[in-house]
Structure 1
């Protein structure tokens, strides 16, 4: 295949980002006609349809393959310019996908120093939020250059690094425990009444509550009374207000438990989620044996260091095991309750 036109690849990336020819043209400071012409030329060169002209636009499978290449090319261009000391006139977008619970707890502190250092050099970090079992799909489709995921195996052309384990506990407010469970955080919630009590759910991808019930009471595919709260911070707040039972990272609610705002239910039961950092390999063949300074590498290193400080460090689940590992924690661990563009 002949060399692909970088300007046409930039158009494809802008169309994927903005979902329309008009907004893509505005992003690139060219006319809609120029965007259309460059896309048609790229489609003619590869001999395949790359974009489905719908509202919003969506990429075909060949389009997603080229989008991955476009993202990597843009990141490499920005790294080369920075290493040569050139001024970056336009902001270079560096999208990564993370799960909401990680974003609400350890991701921002992990990235803070890097973002503060890069305020004036065109470094445009974009954090895209999805469930930890689905962030990997953003990477596969080329929408992001890296992701925090539960998937333990790397895509071809990617590197993977274990981050650690997020431990989840079921919690409720003292008022809820008193009113709905007779004041007993263990015996008051049991196999005979869990279907009558409300559980907080992040969104329809979230099955953490069902996993916890299965682990606690041995009930497969339990039917729960659900109250949806699609924000990690608001979810924790709803649990503290007594809206229902929440299954939250200990890292997030540890202080609230210490203050007596939340109570751990069945503290011997825990869900453990092993997390991994995935990123595309950008230009490794050109930098063998030489120090790497790529922004994506710096983001990955910051996340790995931040996770090492915040998450439980233990052997990660192997490829043959479930993405989300569930186990009953020993009673001695009951003393450990509690858990955008830049």
Structure 2
């Protein structure tokens, strides 16, 4: 395999991010023909097909391998530009994957100093049990995940445990639960669920009532903020991160159901190892340090463990 052309790797990343040759060309400020030429040159260099020209575009397995290198190259270039006091170009976005509940509670405040300092981030939202797959595929440089083991070539830092509780509006409780929520009536009560990947409601019911695989009446609300609003409006019982609802609880807009039952979800920060990413000033090091500090100010502590390798 010949030396890989950084501009071709950048082209591959742009194709994945934008989903088409046309939008990738706009992002890179080149022609569609130039995008095609760079991709063909990269495929010729490695001797394998990297992109399936379908709608939407799909990466082959070799394409996913090279995408990981493309992401790492982007981060290393951002480091070099920063150390040289160069201006990071407007199209240089660094993608990381986070879960919606973390985004709604502690991620934005944690990253705000870096963003105010000019760092360009692309936050990709997925369930905390699935963000790790995006890292494995090379779609992101780092992720907040429930996975406690580091991928080969990645590092891992414990963040803490998100604490989930059951809440409902006082009006809903008066109407639907005059005698409380219990083992004999939970199957008849509507519960709010984020999306079809979300198993938090089932986990809470299993822990609260000792029922495995409970069948529930579900109302799907795929937004952390709208989910809380739906609970306030009386759509159903919601299982929410405790750090997301202190004001609603204090104002009496929501009440805790079985407050002793709390589901703790451990979270970890994973990122690709790029040389010494923990050196002062490195892009991934700064992101990781900010997320660790921000998470530990909000989340419950995890048992002490060493970082993954």
State how far apart, in whole Å, the 2-side matches of 1:191 and 1:255 are: 29
For 2:204, which of 187, 212, 218 is the aligned residue? 212
CA displacement at 1:254 relative to structure 2: 2.0
Distance 1:115 1:189, change over 3 A: same
Q: Which residue of 2 aligns with 1:20?
A: 20
Q: Contact 2:158 / 2:302 at 8 angstroms: preserved in 1?
A: no
Q: Which residue of 2 aligns with 1:45?
A: 45
Q: Which residue of 1 aligns with 2:177?
A: 181
State how far apart, in whole Å, the 2-side matches of 1:295 and 1:88 are: 12
Distance 1:291 1:269, change over 3 A: closer
Partner-residue secondary structure (3-state), 2:302? coil
Matches within 5 A, 1:69-218: 69-118=69-118, 123-182=119-178, 184=179, 188-218=180-210
Partner-residue secondary structure (3-state), 1:310? coil
State how far apart, in whole Å, the 2-side matches of 1:81 and 1:244 are: 50
Q: Which residue of 2 aligns with 1:275?
A: 267
State how far apart, in whole Å, the 2-side matches of 1:235 and 1:106 are: 17
Q: Contact 1:133 / 1:149 at 8 angstroms: preserved in 2?
A: yes
Tell me whether 1:256 sits opposite 2:255 in the alignment.
Answer: no
Aligned residues: 307
Q: Which residue of 2 aligns with 1:233?
A: 225
Deviation per CA, 1:108-148: give whole Å up to 9, x if none.
11111121122xxxx31111111000111111111111111
Q: Which residue of 2 aligns with 1:313?
A: 301
Bigger mean CA deviation after superposition, 290-299 or 108-117: 290-299
Deviation per CA, 1:168-197: give whole Å up to 9, x if none.
011111111111111x4xxx2112211111
State how far apart, in whole Å, the 2-side matches of 1:87 and 1:189 are: 57
Q: Contact 1:152 / 1:317 at 8 angstroms: preserved in 2?
A: no
CA displacement at 1:202 relative to structure 2: 0.5
Bigger mean CA deviation after superposition, 11-20 or 25-34: 25-34
Structure 1 runs of 4+ aligned residues shifted over 6 Å read none
CA displacement at 1:159 relative to structure 2: 0.7
Q: What are the ranges of 5 or more consecutive residues in structure 2 without an aligned counterpart?
A: none
Q: Which residue of 2 aligns with 1:302?
A: 290
CA displacement at 1:23 relative to structure 2: 1.0
CA displacement at 1:156 relative to structure 2: 0.9
Q: Contact 1:94 / 1:296 at 8 angstroms: preserved in 2?
A: no
Partner-residue secondary structure (3-state), 1:87? coil
Matches within 5 A, 1:314-333: 314-315=302-303
Partner-residue secondary structure (3-state), 1:167? strand
CA displacement at 1:317 relative to structure 2: 8.7
TM-score, L = length of structure 1: 0.86
Q: Which residue of 2 aligns with 1:293?
A: 281
State how far apart, in whole Å, the 2-side matches of 1:55 and 1:291 are: 41
TM-score, L = length of structure 2: 0.95
Q: Which residue of 2 aligns with 1:330?
A: none
Q: CA RMSD in A?
A: 1.7
